Amino acid sequence: MDSFKNIRALVIGAGGGIGQALVEQLAGTANVERLFAASRRNPAGDGDRFSCLALDLEEEDSIARAAASCRDQGGVNLVIVATGLLHQGSRLQPEKSWRALDPEQLMRSFAVNTIGPALVAKHFLPLLPRGERGVFAALSARVGSISDNRLGGWHGYRASKAALNMMIRNLAIELARRNPSALCIGLHPGTVDTPLSSPFQGNVPPGKLFSPGRAARQLLTVIDQATAENNGQLLAWDGQVITP
């Protein structure tokens, strides 16, 4: 992470596979001076460089409290929203047909995949420093690309991630006006061996199912190498730009 002088990072979704791996990678990075790990189940453990925060994407008050806590502890210059919802037991499964469309499931997908990250941006983009590098990054997905959609299905997940991609683009435009030294980007981690992807790994090509640790390293490299030209873009794990 050489593009930052001193990193003050927040990882939201620290209890998930990718989020936990990002926390571990950042904890071992020499120029990380402060690390915040946020999740719904406030994980135990605080230290000189490390703080745990309770944050629920579906409760804006908890997002605001987490932002106030980060601000009071010196602020942040790197925010990573490492969350996503594809399935949740029998209550929510990816739709294979329009016959499976359900309003409650659609609202839940948008609440977690679109609205939650947007509210995080609302409260955390103002904390990014002026005059030095700052990055807000949210995990999205290639299946949120409208132009890349050849298979259909997974209506709620695709649509909520497409909406997130548009939100990132909108936020990036406003951020460029207010704070030109900061970036807002989306990240596609690839297929990662986590509970989110575990039911759908059968057709993953050899070598394209990443461990959480490898995915975290790749995503941090993409963040480190992102430039002003990438502001508002969705970037894949290998740094390639994914078209909307």
Report the chain (244 residues): mean pLDDT per 10 consecutive residues: 94 95 95 95 68 95 97 97 84 88 95 98 98 97 91 93 98 97 97 71 68 96 98 97 93
The alpha carbon of residue 16 and the mean position of all alpha carbons in its chain are separated, in whole angstroms, by 11
Hey, what domains does the chain have and what are their CATH numbers? 7-242 (3.40.50.720)
Can you give the pLDDT at residue 150? 86
Contact call for residues 55 and 66 (beta carbons, < 8 A): yes
* Secondary structure of residue 64 in the 3-state scheme: helix
**pTM for the whole structure:** 0.93
Closest residue by Cα to residue 236 from 178, 185, 167, 184 = 185
User: What are the contacts of 156-160 at 24+ separation with CB within 8 A?
Assistant: 156/92, 156/94, 156/95, 156/101, 156/105, 156/106, 156/108, 156/109, 156/110, 157/85, 157/86, 157/94, 157/109, 157/113, 159/106, 159/109, 159/110, 160/109, 160/110, 160/112, 160/113, 160/114
HSE of 167, CA atoms in CB hemisphere, 13 A: 24
Contact call for residues 232 and 173 (beta carbons, < 8 A): yes
Can you give the pLDDT at residue 229? 97
HSE of 184, CA atoms in CB hemisphere, 13 A: 28
* Secondary structure of residue 85 in the 3-state scheme: coil
* Secondary structure of residue 191 in the 3-state scheme: strand
Can you give the pLDDT at residue 207? 66
